[in-house]
Amino acid sequence: MRQIGGGITVARGFSARSVFCGIKDGNADRPDLTLIASEVPSVAAAVFTTNRIKAAPVRLSTAHLRSAVTRAIVANSGNANACTGKTGDRDARSMARNCARLLRIDTRQVLVCSTGRIGVPLPMKKIERGLSLLSGSNVRMGSTEAARAIMTSDTFAKECAVQIKLDGKPVRIGGIAKGAGMINPQMATMLCFLSTDAAISKKVLQRFLVSAVEQSFNRITVDGDMSTNDSVICLANGLAGNSRDALSSSGDFQKALNFVTAKLARMIVEDGEGITRVIEVIVRGAASQSDALKAVRAIANSALVKCAWFGGDPNWGRVMDALGYSGARLREERVEIFYDNLCAVRGGVAIPSAKNLRTVTRKKQFKLTVDLHLGKGTDRILTTDFTPAYVEFNKGE
Amino acid sequence: MRQIGGGITVARGFSARSVFCGIKDGNADRPDLTLIASEVPSVAAAVFTTNRIKAAPVRLSTAHLRSAVTRAIVANSGNANACTGKTGDRDARSMARNCARLLRIDTRQVLVCSTGRIGVPLPMKKIERGLSLLSGSNVRMGSTEAARAIMTSDTFAKECAVQIKLDGKPVRIGGIAKGAGMINPQMATMLCFLSTDAAISKKVLQRFLVSAVEQSFNRITVDGDMSTNDSVICLANGLAGNSRDALSSSGDFQKALNFVTAKLARMIVEDGEGITRVIEVIVRGAASQSDALKAVRAIANSALVKCAWFGGDPNWGRVMDALGYSGARLREERVEIFYDNLCAVRGGVAIPSAKNLRTVTRKKQFKLTVDLHLGKGTDRILTTDFTPAYVEFNKGE
């Protein structure tokens, strides 16, 4: 496997076209509507938010995913089309229908995504004008423009791509993603679109995607809030010409997909609203896997722990406190805590010699490792500090 | 029932003596060690943190609570004596023993509480000097000084007292409490000491206290973090001379206890670190009681919802989002949301006429009511906004 440049359009047969249609009153320099399509029939897999309040496009795309063939994704930023009732459903359907007409395909072969403010109906006049522009010559082609078109509070475009060989044939996987607030395990406020030219069945692709998402987008957190619009979609069009059996039997495709999703997930965290540090929280030695997950989640989402990190303060006492209410089994007298490789706590109490913890906690990125010494459960989450800038950013007008 | 002045010493036979012993390098104007005692044998009830990491004094007090008689509470601020291993257990025991000697009672009749930084051993030389000062003439008497002695980041002393009549006899209940960070349902980072001269059995007192705590201290949140030291203790010495039967059969004592604990709980929220607003979140019409609790908790602890409140922004979309991931059953198309009496959302979508929501959300205190229209479950939590000042306050040195 090797990482290559580019993103959603590295796989053969995929194109992305983006335009600005003014959904947010913003500068026309940044597109806000994008259409990603395969020139030949492709299959799709997807993972959507587990939030019970689902945006209209999530409901529509869930239904369209039942189609054996999926050819395109249309996405807008600036408006989430969530909590918009029947109007929202009608608007999402209209977006799919317009794109289908443009591409001369069945409406059910188009998936729809929206991201932005909740509770405001989509400005359909603008969107319709944008959709009509997509067929013109004045569109912005390529992955980077598509990555920019789905940005909301993101500060940089997120792309990643790799190439692997499957029975001698080069196979490419590429993707784009956006963050940057309302980010929590069980799908962040985020969109991620992936494409591959691998020949793969819809069913196998879904299995690989679920596994990749579990280890990447479901292991990041910025603010503990889970959104109504989270969607990860992967299209595969088979143009690489590999044998499906070779793909299923080798672990290489899964590894490559994991790599791309993990990279994109890390970029989302690094671009978290107002953050100054990225921390990988690792729990090992838990009595079970689910205990390990409970423990990493409690630490990674604790407001007090995250505030201390903002100040570069190790404050392992708050980590102990979060462990204590996480629900994970623990014996206080066995707990060990490390900041990178420096041991702060052993046997549940501070190591007096650990004076230089701050040299770690003042870094832009570091690891916090907790060993519960109870079993073999282990898990990890990528999280951030919590800053006044985050609060200022999210206080509204 | 009528509210009266004072706090922990309004009930006959109770005294409080406080001293400054320099646990925090702070100004000698504020005491940091207090001893609350009944001059006659009393019974005790208590509710402690559910955090699996329990501070040494919590473990000791839990054991001492098995004693039929409890005469005194000794408490210090500035150091939580949590995550301090065997040294911590020894230090907590030593505090109890010293107080018992002073009062000429059994060590098991003394409960111990500590609040402050986690993970640093108690400065026992200072504490011992402080304990010896408690028997001298230079102590500060009374409830207010005791309330000040347990303050950490609190900005004001919290006291409340009431008087009721039980079969013609005046019965008093009073208390003190401290907050002000690490505050979340299932016991906040908080201490609350209550005393009453009611004649009541230990068992009945425990039942009343659990019920009162459930409706007060377990229904507040500031930052979603639950502490290792939370303790609510109530002493009852019987000096009012009421009949125990009269107390058990009338609901008056429970009501009075609820009143005092609710008042103290509200003061803790009002004194939350860096907050600018207090919001009562009410969920009604939930499919069950537990669904109602899940829903109020998710809203009251959402970082994004709380940031919006800081800015005086109604942002009901974030409320919908939190409802969606709360785990409570819901039908989007039935949800109704009110800010005070103004309806913002009906049938799951915005009411266009609701232009003046900001007149509510810019107030210092307001109510957010969500009606799920599914059943009869209802619950409420008192919460706050989330501010840059909170983050700055908790970022450490």
Q: What residues of chain B lie within 8 A of the CB of A349, using their CB?
A: 83-85, 87, 119
User: How distant is the Cα of B227 from the closest Cα of chain A, in angstroms?
Assistant: 6
Active site residues of A: 189
User: How distant is the Cα of A72 from the closest Cα of chain B, in angstroms?
Assistant: 27
Give the nearest chain A residue to B181 (CA atoms). A304
Alpha-carbon span A107 to A98, nearest angstrom = 8
B52: which 2 tokens? 């699996």
CB contact under 8 A, A324 and B348: no
- Which SS3 state, helix, strand or coil, does residue A128 take? helix
Give the nearest chain B residue to A318 (CA atoms). B118
Give the nearest chain A residue to B332 (CA atoms). A53
| Selection from A263, A248, A199 nearest residue A12 by Cα | A199
Q: B residues 237-296 near A, CB within 8 Å?
A: none
CB contact under 8 A, B228 and A320: yes
What are the residues whose beta carbons fall under 8 Å from the beta carbon of B362, sequence distance 6 or more?
Answer: B312
- List the beta bridge partners of residue A140: A18
Q: What residues of chain A lie within 8 A of the CB of B390, using their CB?
A: 303, 307, 391
CB contact under 8 A, B321 and A395: no
Q: What residues of chain B lie within 8 A of the CB of A310, using their CB?
A: 391, 395
Provide the 8-state DSSP code for A207.
H
User: How distant is the Cα of B310 from the closest Cα of chain A, in angstroms?
Assistant: 6
Residue found by looking up tokens 């619009």 in the block: A229
Q: Which residues of chain A have pLDDT under 70?
A: 26, 180-189, 223-228, 353-354, 397
Give the model's pLDDT for residue A230.
81
Give the model's pLDDT for residue A117.
82
Q: What residues of chain B lie within 8 A of the CB of A360, using their CB?
A: none
CB B190 within 8 A of CB B213: no
pTM exceeds 0.90:
no
| Selection from B353, B182, B292 nearest residue A303 by Cα | B182
CB pairs under 8 A between A and B: 203
- Which SS3 state, helix, strand or coil, does residue A56 take? helix
- Residue A374: CB atoms within 10 A of its CB come to 18
CB contact under 8 A, A228 and B310: no
CB contact under 8 A, B321 and A118: yes
What are the residues whose beta carbons fall under 8 Å from the beta carbon of A213, sequence distance 6 or more?
Answer: A47, A187, A232, A261
Alpha-carbon span A7 to A196, nearest angstrom = 10
- Among partner residues A225, A308, A391, which is closest to B395 by beta-carbon distance? A308
pLDDT tens column, A94-152: 999 999 999 999 999 999 999 988 888 999 999 999 999 998 888 999 999 999 999 98
User: How distant is the Cα of B363 from the closest Cα of chain A, in angstroms?
Assistant: 15
How does pLDDT run along chain B (397 residues), one tens digit per residue?
999 999 999 999 999 999 999 997 767 788 999 999 999 999 999 998 888 888 999 999 999 999 999 999 999 999 999 888 999 999 999 999 999 999 999 999 999 999 988 888 999 999 999 999 998 888 999 999 999 999 988 889 999 999 999 989 999 999 999 986 665 534 436 889 999 999 999 999 999 999 999 888 888 877 666 666 788 899 999 999 999 998 988 899 999 999 999 999 999 888 888 889 999 999 999 999 999 999 999 999 888 899 999 999 888 988 998 998 899 999 999 999 999 999 999 999 888 766 789 899 999 999 999 999 999 999 999 999 989 988 888 787 6
CB contact under 8 A, B227 and A321: yes
User: How distant is the Cα of A168 from the closest Cα of chain B, in angstroms?
Assistant: 45
Residue found by looking up tokens 């205190």 in the block: B365
Handedness of CA B69, B71, B76, B77 (dihedral sign): positive
- Go through A86-110 and write b for each residue having 16 or more CB atoms within 10 A of its CB, e for each that does not: eebeebbbbbbebbbebbebebbbb
A320 contact B CB<8A: yes
| Selection from B70, B76, B138, B82 nearest residue B106 by Cα | B70
Q: A residues 161-190 near B, CB within 8 Å?
A: 181-182, 184, 186
Give the model's pLDDT for residue B224.
62
CB contact under 8 A, B323 and A226: no
User: How distant is the Cα of B73 from the closest Cα of chain A, in angstroms?
Assistant: 24
Handedness of CA B133, B134, B140, B144 (dihedral sign): positive
- Most B CBs within 10 Å, among A221, A222, A321, to test the B interface: A321
B345 contact A CB<8A: yes
A318 contact B CB<8A: yes
* Distance from the Cα of residue A87 to its chain's centroid: 27
Give the model's pLDDT for residue A148.
95
CB contact under 8 A, A83 and B313: no
